[in-house]
Structure 1
């Protein structure tokens, strides 16, 4: 039997680690960190964003659907994310996947998910 992407990413615990590593990458990425650094001064808000991200990715990767956040268009409206910023964010995610030794097929599946969301986030 084939494992779900959720299982291949290490379940909720693995996805949580990947999200934590990704946020750290965003904080260190000069192309996007202006959007993320202010969250260091708002730890409660950062925790909410991380938890929504974890729940969203758990549900989208075949795990339990406990996501109660906004849809992607609503969540990103007003942010005016550029295509370049989106690509930097994707790079940060893939650095986190590499750090966590996620296999190539799973990374391709993550890429497909991220690519499917792009139009919901760019220039909203």
Structure 2
């Protein structure tokens, strides 16, 4: 029997841990930290962003979630994220997946999702 990506990522708890680890990595990554460090002083806003990210990945991976955040284009409009920054963000996500012992097959599936979102995020 095949398992969903949601299950292979460890369900809600696993995805929550991956998101927490990713945000921590983004804050430590000198190439993109300037975009994330201001949220340290806005814990409510950071919690909302994490919640939306968790729900987005739960829903997109076959889990039981109701994503109520903005679409990717609207969420990233005005940020002018360049391709290099996007690749750094992906690298941080892959590091978080490694930290959470996610299988290579599941990492490939996550990477495919991230790559599919690229055009909705870069240069908006």
TM-score bracket, normalised by the shorter chain, equals: over 0.9
| Deviation of the 1:11 alpha carbon | 0.4
Name the structure 1 match of 2:34: 34
Whether 1:2 and 2:35 are equivalent positions in the alignment is: no
Superposed CA RMSD in Å reads 0.4
SS of the aligned residue for 1:119 comes to helix
| Deviation of the 1:65 alpha carbon | 3.3
Name the structure 1 match of 2:72: 72
Q: TM-score, normalised by structure 2?
A: 0.99
1:60-99 pair list within 5 angstroms: 60-99=60-99
Structure 1, unaligned runs of 5 or more? none
Cα distance in structure 1, aligned partners of 2:103 and 2:95: 13
Deviations 1:28-70 (A, max 9, x none): 0000000000000000000000000000000000001310000
Structure 2, unaligned runs of 5 or more? none
Cα distance in structure 1, aligned partners of 2:121 and 2:36: 16
Name the structure 2 match of 1:17: 17
Q: TM-score, normalised by structure 1?
A: 0.99
Runs of 4+ in 1 over 3 A off after TM superposition: none
Whether 1:48 and 2:56 are equivalent positions in the alignment is: no
